[in-house]
Amino acid sequence: MAEKEIPILEVKGLKTYFTTKKGTSKPVDGIDFVLNKGETLGIVGESGCGKSMTSLSILRLIPSPSGKIAGGSILFKGKDLVKLPESEMRKVRGNDISMIFQEPMTSLNPVIPVGEQIAEAIRLHQNLGKKAAWEKSVEMLRLVGIPSPEKRAKQEPFQLSGGMRQRVMIAMALACSPEILIADEPTTALDVTIQAQILEIIKNLQKQLGMGVIMITHDLGVVAETCDQVVVMYAGNIVEHTSSKELFANPKHPYTQGLLASLPNITEDVEELRTIEGTIPSPYNLPKGCRFSSRCPHSKDICSERNPELFEVSDDTKVRCWIYSDNWNNQSKREEECLNEKHS
Amino acid sequence: MKSIAERKVLLQVNNIKQHFTVKNDALFKPKTVVKAVDGISFELYEGETLSIVGESGCGKSTTGRAILRLDEPSAGEIYFGGENLLTVKKKDMRKLRGDLQVIFQDPFASLNPRQKVKQILNEAMATQKSVVKEKRPERMKELLEYVGLPLESLERYPHEFSGGQRQRIGIARALAVHPKLIICDEAVSALDVSIQAQILNLLKQLQRQFNLTFLFISHDLSVVRHVSDRVMVMYLGKIVEIADKKSLFDKPMHPYTHALLSSIPVPDPTIKHERIILKGDVPSPINPPKGCRFHTRCPFATDLCQETEPELRELEKGHFVSCHMVEKI
Ligand SMILES: Nc1ncnc2c1ncn2[C@@H]1O[C@H](COP(=O)(O)OP(=O)(O)O)[C@@H](O)[C@H]1O
Ligand SMILES: Nc1ncnc2c1ncn2[C@@H]1O[C@H](COP(=O)(O)OP(=O)(O)O)[C@@H](O)[C@H]1O
Ligand code: SF4
Ligand code: SF4
Ligand SMILES: [Mg+2]
Ligand SMILES: [Mg+2]
């Protein structure tokens, strides 16, 4: 079914680079993924690995002039957003593709009643009168579970709790029934009970509206509960791309394996947690070979020489690691031979 | 963990309250009182880790700050090694301050950006008079070793370190004065999981090495499950449940604890657990609900719950719950 329809979003070879005094950083360095209607794609990875820059690139909201899309394409229903003039892009934002952030105040005006802000967003993209837009705005607030929405609509953001502001932002993002919702750490600043409410709301609205969701998070629990497919990023690269089921049952990349092993377990006791030694490399000074090589317990010579490509391990799984190439076994053999020579 | 009878109480908190008076912007309105912590009692045994969990604003940090006397509590007693912290004289407090240390969420905010690590550690030792001057360089080396930082770190500034390393500096500073109790307030909350695991392992190892007692404040229940011996759940300035870790996680009794535990997203898509989604937000601590403070969100609330505040009762050995209905649900 999904194969026949064109995907709503197809990101191909996306590169987003920054040029600063310190040099060139490559927070997004050749990213590919496909999002289908009604599907949720997770993007996970440690802070600084390029998750937010990927999502901001899709909406062409990268801080300029230091940052720019340096290559690749972003096809929204076949149309390349990278090439779109800014005036056209403005129609896409908030209408076709919406975004919600960790901090709701980045998208809310602190001194305007929230209902008015949502109504304004509606009127920007839809041909509705003031009154109709206001009514729709109140309806949206009700939809995201805000109690007495008529009253709340008239309040300014600071009069609302953090969880309520987050819901207002979701209401605003969804007011124009977008085809894609990008949620960048939407629940990271919230308590678990509120997080559960918000994730439930997103899930329900997704079912109703059939939108595709890109869920950016560093919380693997949130991934497991919401995502169909997952992209694991490390230092600007995708290192593993697979189904959510497969990711948790059979993590393939050493980084993914390390990440899952370092999670404290809610049902099981261990004295010591597994860790990944070291830290991520500086984006200004990326290693020549595999970007994970300085922290990887399996690293071999080839790893520090060449960055591996994404190897297709099965139909729905790709891994950027030499272990999954034919070279790996050859390399092992070579190393064995070296050892044997030394010993003989 | 030792059996309860053998354990020595290090800290005893008796019915402390922390009521903050906040000014109103309107001129003639009466002042409002935030009941951040509203009568809680618990003890901390030597060498254990007791965690405080609960949603933001429930009074976790305020409890920690009261013990450290960063804010003077409005009422109650806090005994530490037999002395009432809230009435001791200034000069005795200095010694006690060394016994009680704290590690915060954002080590960057609590480390002076213009001081090298060397100066930071030196200052900690100097104010507590815990280590004589001549011995300090030796002690600094030791401290860096304990927390796993290279020796060169002494000559560097906080901004030159990553988040995880800065947390190690914060830990070294706390250890510098030979503390007995360390309050960790969201100490690993800002760290990525792989780094968080490193710091959690370090804390556990140091606890064994120096027989430290931890009061571990966190909103992350998976982390709490990993580090704690006992767990205390707070809601709106009150303790709703306190028990050893195993009983709390395996057999939570309070409806709020149930909901809280069921909200944790589990990193395993094959587990479909039943989720209790609570309605609405936590009410304001300015006018907390009458009776049981949880009754506005509790699926089991009765008339009694709206009128009468439940007591914290010991329902099983060491397992305390404050709920009228717990036997019936
Ligand atoms: N304004 C900027 N100037 C230069 N580099 C930037 C800027 N913003 C972000 N970056 C780079 O992009 C990298 C990835 O950032 P980001 O996508 O925000 O990470 P994540 O969302 O995964 O935590 C950062 O490590 C940083 O080097
Ligand atoms: N100095 C203060 N003045 C007024 N209110 C305060 C002060 N400190 C904390 N509060 C309030 O007390 C309550 C408990 O806060 P806190 O202990 O920081 O919660 P937690 O650490 O559990 O998130 C909150 O409602 C907070 O706004
Ligand atoms: S390519 Fe080598 S260093 Fe990189 S993840 Fe695979 S084994 Fe580790
Ligand atoms: S006392 Fe009543 S309202 Fe409070 S938790 Fe128990 S059942 Fe719920
Ligand atoms: Mg980000
Ligand atoms: Mg706090």
| Nearest neighbour of A191 by CB, restricted to B197, B219, B249 | B219
CB B14 within 8 A of CB B78: yes
Q: CB neighbours of A173 closer than 8 A, spacing ≥ 6?
A: A94, A98, A99, A100, A107, A181
Query: Which of B141, B157, B178 lies at the terminal end of a domain, its last residue?
Result: B178
Cα separation, A100 vs B26, whole angstroms: 35
pLDDT for position A1: 47
In angstroms, how far is the first alpha carbon of chain A from the final one? 60
Q: Which of A263, A173, A180 is nearest to A222 (CA)?
A: A263
Residues B248 and B286 in one domain: yes
- Residues, Cβ < 5 Å to ion ligand 5: A 52
B109 occurs within a structural domain:
no
In this predicted model, what pLDDT tens digit does every residue of B175-224 receive, in sequence order? 999 999 999 999 998 888 988 999 999 999 999 999 999 999 999 999 99
End-of-domain residue from the set B178, B194, B217: B178
Same structural domain for residues B88 and B202?
yes
Domain ranges of chain A: 1-91+182-193+210-266+273-344, 104-177
Are B229 and B308 found together in one domain?
yes
- pLDDT for A144 equals 86
Residue B30 contacts A, CB cutoff 8 Å: no
If asked whether residues B280 and B174 sit together in one domain, one would say: no
Does residue B107 lie within any of the structural domains?
no
- What is the total count of domains within chain B? 2
pLDDT band at residue A340 using 50, 70 and 90 as cut-offs: low
Q: Do B160 and B48 sit in the same domain of this protein?
A: no
Residues B244 and B296 occupy one common structural domain: yes
Asked if B170 and B217 sit in the same domain, the reply is: no
Q: Output the CA B267–ligand 5 centroid distance in Å.
A: 20
Whole-model pTM: value is: 0.90
Is residue B224 domain-resident?
yes
SS3 B246: helix
Using a CB cutoff of 5 Å, list residues around ligand 6, an ion: B 61
Q: What is the distance in angstroms between the Cα of B269 and the nearest Cα belonging to chain A?
A: 5
Q: Which tops the pLDDT comparison, B136 or A344?
A: B136
B107 within 8 A of B45, measured Cβ to Cβ: no
Range of the domain at B148: 114-178
CA distance A37 to B327: 48
Homologous superfamily (CATH) for A1-91+182-193+210-266+273-344:
P-loop containing nucleotide triphosphate hydrolases (3.40.50.300)
Q: Considering only CA atoms, which of A254, A300, A308, A251 is closest in space to residue A278?
A: A254
Per residue in A283-329, pLDDT (tens digit) is 888 899 999 999 999 999 999 999 999 999 999 999 999 999 987 87
Q: Do B268 and A272 touch (CB under 8 A)?
A: no
Q: Which of B226, B249, B277 sits opposite A197 (nearest CB)?
A: B277
User: Structure tokens of B33?
Assistant: 């009182």
Residue type, B69: R
pLDDT of residue B152: 92
Tokens describing residue B230: 């006992």
- pLDDT, one tens digit per residue, over B273-324 is 788 888 877 888 998 999 999 999 999 999 999 999 999 999 999 999 999 9
Bridge partners of B11, per DSSP, are B44, B80
Please tell me whether residues B165 and B187 are part of one structural domain.
no
Q: Point out the ligand 4 atom lying closest to the alpha carbon of residue B299.
A: 8
Identify each DSSP E strand in chain A by its residue range: 9-20, 23-35, 40-44, 67-76, 79-80, 97-100, 180-184, 212-216, 229-234, 237-243, 311-314, 317-319
The domain spanning residue B305 has which CATH number?
3.40.50.300
B78, B93: one domain: yes
Would the pLDDT of A271 be above 90? Answer: no
ipTM for this prediction: 0.85
Query: Could you tell me if B86 and B74 are in contact, meaning their C-beta atoms sit under 8 angstroms apart?
Result: no
What pLDDT digit, counting tens, does each position of A54-89 carry? Answer: 999 999 999 989 999 999 999 999 999 999 999 999
- Look-up: residue for tokens 């927390």? B147
Q: How much is the mean pLDDT over chain A?
A: 91
What are the b/e assignments for B12-28, b being 16+ CB within 10 Å? bbbebbbeeeeeeeeee
pLDDT at B3: 56
B204 lies in the same domain as B271: yes
Is the pLDDT score of A13 beyond 90? Answer: yes
Q: For residues B132 and A113, give the distance between their C-alpha atoms in angstroms, rounded to a whole number.
A: 60
